Structure 1
Amino acid sequence: MKGMAKVCAISCKEYSVFCEKQGVKETPTVMIYPPNPVPAFKIDGKLEGKAVFNKLAKFMPDQTERITKDNLDKFLTTEVTKPKALLFSNKKSVPLIWKALSSETVFKRTVKFGIVTEDQTDIVQRYKVKKFPTVIIQQGAKGEKKDTYTGELKFLPLKDWVNLHSESGMGDKVSSAGGAKEESVEEAKPWLVQEVPELTAKSHQDVCFKGEGLCVIFLKDGEASPAEIEMLTGLSKKYTSQLSDRGAKMKWSLGMSSSISAAFEAFLTVVFLARMWMNLAIESAYKELFAPAQLPSAAVFNPHKRLRFTLLDHGEEGEVKGDEQGITKLLDKVLGGDARFTMVKGQKLPAWAQREAAKKAEL
C-alpha cells in the first residue's frame, strides 16, 4: 500500500483527546478514513494485515475508463493535452495499483487512465501487445508519441514513470490563443488516430483539406469490411515506401464518398477510413458528384485551388473492380501523369450530410 494509502499510528496515551473524539475506547484499534463523503469507521474482528488491506482496497477511488473498440478513439482524442495511460490486462477487474494511480491527486487532473482487457483483441492487435500486463502511454493530438513501461510493476516506480509524461498545471481546460480565456474540453476527433479515417463534415478538414497532395477516396455504399480496411492499409504502406525514396510525401485515407487533399505534383495523399464511414448512401451529394459506374470504387481528388477528381475506370464491361488490383491501377495511372481529371462544377464542394440533425430527427 506504500504510496497508495496513508497508514499512520498514534498513541492514545499521548493524544487522549483526539482518540476520545474518534470514539476509540480501547487499544489497539484500527480506524479507516475513506475519501469523502464516506464516514470513518472502526475495523471489527481480528486485526490482521490482510483484513486491513482488503478494507483499504475496497475504498480506493477508481478514475479508470474501460476501453473497447467503440470508445478507444474517442478516449485518445478528447482532452489532447493529457497523456493517455493504457493498462493491457488479462484480469477482468481494475488492479488496485491502477485505481490508485488514476485517483492520485495530480494524475486525476492531468492524465487519463484506461484499461484494456485481453478479450479486446482488436485493440490488443492494434498495439501489438504480446504479454499481460503491459502499460503504454500515448500522447499527442494524433497519438503519435507512444512509450511502453519496462520497469517494475509496483506503484511508486509506475508513479514516477507516469509523472515524466504528466505536465505540471495541466487540467480540464485549455487556453485559447494568447491565453485570454479558457475553453471547454475539446470535442473528440477519433479520425486523428485511425489508420483508415472516415471523411465527413467534421473530419474532412483534418483528414484532407489542411494537408498537401492528392486524396484517394475509397467509395462504397455501406461500411468497409475489415478485409477492405486491411487491404487499404497495405496499399498505403506500399506506396508510402515507394515514394519515400523519391522525396514524395504520401498520406493514405479512405472515404466512401468524400474528398481528400493534395498538390498534384510529386505528392500523393491517400487517407483511409476506419470505423466511422462516409458511405454514398448517406453522402448522397457526393454520390451524385462522383457517379461511380459500380461500387465499391475509388477516386483521387485534388481539393486545392481548382477542385478536380479522377475516377477508377471499371472498364467497358465492368471487369475492373474496386479492389487492391483496381486501386493500384488507378494510383499508377495518376503517378504516371496519364489520369484525366474532371473539374467540380462551380468549383464548390457538395454539401455534407448533417448527421447530428438526422439522429435528432430519429429520436
Structure 2
Amino acid sequence: MNRSVLITFIFVGLIMSSVFARSVYDHKQSHVSVVSNLNFVKQVQKTRETTKTVQILHFYKMNDGHSTRIAKQIDQLANQYKGLFYFGAVNCGEEPTICEKEKITQYPTVRVYPPLPLPSIDVEAPADSLASNDIFKLAQRYLHDNSVEINTANIDTFISEHPAVPKVFLFTDKKGTPLIYKGLSVALEGKQFFGIVRNTEEPLVKKYQVRKFPSVLIVIAGERKPIPYTGEMNYQDIFNFLNVYSQTYVPGGTQEQSATKSWLNELVPEMHIKSARDICLGQEGIFCVLLFHSGKPDAEITDTFKTLHSQYGIKHDRGLQYKFMWIDAAQEQKWAQFFKFDGSPKVVLINPGKRKRVLDHEGEVTISGLKTTIERISNGDARFKRLADSDIPEFSAVRKDL
C-alpha cells in the first residue's frame, strides 16, 4: 500500500469515527452526562441501589428523527433541575449492548430510573410531541422527601436527636413540600436533617424570628443563633450554602426515626412503655403535665391541654417549659394506684430530672385552674414531693394496642 492510499484510509477513518462519535448533545456544555458501557453499572445500577436519586436517561439513535429536538428539551430540564435529578444519554448506535440489555425497542426512549426497588418506567408520549413537561411530570413523582413536618410538639426532639448533626428548617406559608427542598433533603442525606415548618406554627415562627416566607435557616450545635440563608430561593444556591455546614456522621439511627414514633408528633401524646422516655422520663429541663384518665380523654380536655401547650410548651430564654400528656389509668393500673387516681380526671406535674419531684394539681382540669398551678411553680411557691427512681411505677408491657 503506497503512502497516498494509506493517508486516504486514515482520512476516511477519521471522518467515519467523527460521524459515529456524533451526539445530539454538546456534552462539553450540557449537564446531560454520556452513559456508556464504561459507567452504566456504576452510575445507573449502583446509584439506584445505594441512593434515593432519580435518574432520567435518553436512549437514542442519530437518525431517529426526533432526538435532536428532544435533546434540547432535556437540556433545558438539566439546566433548571441540575442536582435534583441525574440526566444521562445513551447513543444506542454506539452502545448497542446497553440498549439491548435494557430492552430498548424504539427510538427515542426516555426512561426514568427511580431508586430500587421501584421499577424503571418509560415516558409515555408520542416521540413527535414528547416535551420536557412530560418528562418532568413522571420524574418528580418519584423524588423522595426526607424532610419531617415540624410543630411545637416535636421541635425539641428534632433538635436534640443526634445533636451534632445540623438541622435545616424551611418556613413556608404553602402546603406540601417544594421540589427543591425534597431534592436538598436527598442530596444532603447523611449530613443534615431537614424540617419544614408551616406559618401557622406561630410559636415557632416567633421563636426563630421569621419575618418572611419562604425562609431557610440552619441550626448548628455550638452556634448561639440559627444561621439564615439570604440568597435566591433556588436549588443550587441553597445547596452551596448548606453544603458549607455539611458533615458526615454515624447517628445510630435515621431521620425517619422521629417520624415513625407518632407520640413525637402529637401535641398531647399518651405516655406508655414505649413513649415515656421520649416525652417525659428521659428528658431534662422540662415539667411533665400528666393527665390521668380512664381511657382516651375527651376533646374538651385535650383542647385544654393544647391551649396550654401553645403558651407554655415552647422553651424560651426565660421561664420553664411544660410538656402535656395523658395516661390511660385503665391500662396503667400501677401508675393509677401510685398517684391515687379515683376515677375523675386528675393532673400531676412531674419534674423528671436527676432530682425527680412531683406536684398534685389541686382543683378542676381547666385552663384557668392549671394556669394557676403553673404560675405557682414559676413563682417558686409550689411545694413538691421528692420522687425516687425506685418509686416510679412500672408500665404495662402486655398492651396489644401499642
- State the TM-score, normalized to the length of structure 2: 0.51
The CA deviation string for residues 28-77 of structure 1, in whole angstroms up to 9 with x for no partner, is x86645337637889853478xx13532552344111586689x949947
Q: Which amino acid aligns with 2:400?
A: K
1:64, 1:112 within 8 Å by CA — same for their partners in 2? Answer: no
Q: What is the rounded CA distance, in whole Å, between the counterparts of 1:339 and 1:155 in structure 2?
A: 52
Aligned match of 1:326? 369
User: Shift in Å at residue 339 of structure 1?
Assistant: 5.5
Q: Does 1:350 align with 2:399?
A: no
Q: What is the rounded CA distance, in whole Å, between the counterparts of 2:111 and 2:274 in structure 1?
A: 47
Task: State the secondary structure of the residue aligned to 2:143.
Answer: coil
Aligned match of 1:177? none
The CA deviation string for residues 297-319 of structure 1, in whole angstroms up to 9 with x for no partner, is 433446678866442333xxxxx
Percent sequence identity over matched residues?
19
- Within the candidate set 101, 120, 124, 2:184 is matched to 101
Aligned match of 1:262? none
Q: 1:279–1:136: structure 2 CA closer, same or farther, 3 Å change rule?
A: farther
Aligned match of 2:237? 157
Aligned match of 1:38? 120
Q: What is the rounded CA distance, in whole Å, between the counterparts of 2:381 and 2:175 in structure 1?
A: 56
Q: 1:46–1:229: structure 2 CA closer, same or farther, 3 Å change rule?
A: same
Q: Which amino acid aligns with 2:321?
A: W
- Within the candidate set 230, 235, 240, 2:307 is matched to 230
Q: What is the rounded CA distance, in whole Å, between the counterparts of 1:43 and 1:154 in structure 2?
A: 29
Q: Does 1:62 align with 2:111?
A: no
Q: Which amino acid aligns with 1:359?
A: K
User: Shift in Å at residue 350 of structure 1?
Assistant: 1.4
Task: State the secondary structure of the residue aligned to 2:132.
Answer: helix
Q: What is the rounded CA distance, in whole Å, between the counterparts of 2:292 and 2:376 in structure 1?
A: 21
Task: State the secondary structure of the residue aligned to 1:272.
Answer: strand
Task: State the secondary structure of the residue aligned to 1:34.
Answer: strand
Q: Which amino acid aligns with 2:320?
A: K
Q: What is the rounded CA distance, in whole Å, between the counterparts of 1:213 and 1:82 in structure 2?
A: 22
1:285, 1:350 within 8 Å by CA — same for their partners in 2? Answer: yes
User: Shift in Å at residue 113 of structure 1?
Assistant: 5.4
Q: What is the rounded CA distance, in whole Å, between the counterparts of 1:341 and 1:190 in structure 2?
A: 31
Aligned length, in residue pairs: 294
Q: 1:287–1:9: structure 2 CA closer, same or farther, 3 Å change rule?
A: closer
The CA deviation string for residues 173-232 of structure 1, in whole angstroms up to 9 with x for no partner, is 43xxxxxxxx45485367678776654444544655566678453424144423332225
User: Shift in Å at residue 157 of structure 1?
Assistant: 1.3
Q: Which amino acid aligns with 1:52?
A: S
Aligned match of 2:73? none
Q: 1:160–1:62: structure 2 CA closer, same or farther, 3 Å change rule?
A: same
Q: Does 1:166 align with 2:246?
A: yes
Q: Which amino acid aligns with 2:145?
A: T
1:76, 1:193 within 8 Å by CA — same for their partners in 2? Answer: no
Q: Which amino acid aligns with 1:54?
A: D
Aligned match of 2:339? 290
Q: What is the rounded CA distance, in whole Å, between the counterparts of 1:136 and 1:192 in structure 2?
A: 23
The CA deviation string for residues 11-37 of structure 1, in whole angstroms up to 9 with x for no partner, is x8xx974589869xxxxx866453376
User: Shift in Å at residue 152 of structure 1?
Assistant: 1.9
- State the TM-score, normalized to the length of structure 1: 0.55
Q: 1:343–1:195: structure 2 CA closer, same or farther, 3 Å change rule?
A: same
Q: Which amino acid aligns with 1:219?
A: L
Q: What is the rounded CA distance, in whole Å, between the counterparts of 1:90 and 1:145 in structure 2?
A: 25
Task: State the secondary structure of the residue aligned to 1:278.
Answer: strand
Q: Which amino acid aligns with 2:366?
A: D
Consecutive unaligned residues in structure 2, runs of 5 or more = 1-76, 101-106
Q: What is the rounded CA distance, in whole Å, between the counterparts of 1:56 and 1:236 in structure 2?
A: 42
Consecutive unaligned residues in structure 1, runs of 5 or more = 24-28, 175-182, 245-249, 254-270, 315-320
Q: What is the rounded CA distance, in whole Å, between the counterparts of 2:161 and 2:330 in structure 1?
A: 32
Q: What is the rounded CA distance, in whole Å, between the counterparts of 1:346 and 1:83 in structure 2?
A: 33
Q: 1:35–1:309: structure 2 CA closer, same or farther, 3 Å change rule?
A: closer
Say which one has the larger Rg.
2
Q: What is the rounded CA distance, in whole Å, between the counterparts of 2:180 and 2:136 in structure 1?
A: 12
